[in-house]
């Protein structure tokens, strides 16, 4: 009994400390395949095979009811502590190569996610790509602002040159 309480407490902490949680079913995957999956997401998440009853209790303790109906069959959870999009992409790519892995649902930013929403999350560009696009947009805005500020000055210089040329030709 104490062991179950300790497991629930540990799972509850994982739910609370995670940026996101992605629930999968791994029925039919080999130990080697699960190890490969764990390795592929280890930079941003931990992947744990869980008991459904204990997981439901722990999730509810953490204030998450998103998995109440999805906890059936052999379940494993990716507890994301890094880039959620990268983990969703890794799970999607692994599932394409290993169709026995099924992403069932998720929990991100206070909201329950359906399987389709997890797939949409996986389709987003990575954080680095989005930051690069944002930096490019800022750079373009700065060049535009510099042009706007320099245009009147350049026009004034051209006007002064034109007046000087006119005075020199009149003299």
- Using an 8 Å Cβ cutoff, are 122 and 92 in contact? yes
Asked which of 88-92, 126-130, 158-162 is least confident by mean pLDDT, the reply is 126-130
Cα 148 to its chain centre, rounded Å, is 37
Half-sphere exposure of 21 (CA within 13 A, CB side): 30
State mean pLDDT over 21-41.
87
State phi, psi for 104 to the nearest 5 degrees. -95, -45
Answer CATH for 2-124 from 3.40.50.150, 3.30.70.1730, 3.50.50.60, 3.40.47.10 = 3.30.70.1730
* Nearest Cα to Cα of residue 122 among 149, 155, 96, 98: 96
Burial of 122 (0-12, 13-18, 19+ CB in 10 A): buried
pTM of the full structure? 0.68
For 73-115, how does the pLDDT look when each residue is reduced to its tens digit (9 = 90+)?
A: 888 888 989 888 888 888 888 888 888 888 888 888 877 777 8
Query: Which pLDDT score is estimated for 1?
Result: 62
Domain boundaries, the chain: 2-124, 126-171
């Amino acid at each position: 009994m104490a062991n179950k309480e300790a497991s629930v407490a540990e799972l509850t902490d994982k739910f609370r400390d995670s940026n996101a949680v992605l629930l999968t079913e791994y029925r039919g995957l080999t130990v080697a395949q699960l190890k490969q999956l764990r390795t592929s997401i280890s930079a941003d998440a931990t992947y744990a095979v869980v008991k459904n009853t204990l997981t439901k209790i722990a999730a509810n303790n953490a204030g998450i009811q998103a998995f109440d109906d999805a906890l059936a069959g052999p379940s494993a959870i990716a507890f994301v502590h890094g880039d959620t999009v990268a983990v969703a992409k890794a799970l999607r790519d692994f599932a394409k190569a290993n169709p026995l892995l099924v992403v069932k649902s998720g929990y991100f930013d206070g909201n329950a996610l359906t399987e389709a929403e997890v797939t949409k999350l996986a389709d987003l560009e990575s954080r680095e790509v989005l930051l690069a696009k944002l930096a490019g947009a800022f750079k373009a805005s700065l060049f535009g602002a510099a042009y706007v500020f320099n245009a009147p000055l350049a026009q004034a210089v051209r006007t002064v040159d034109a007046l000087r040329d006119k005075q020199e030709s009149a003299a």
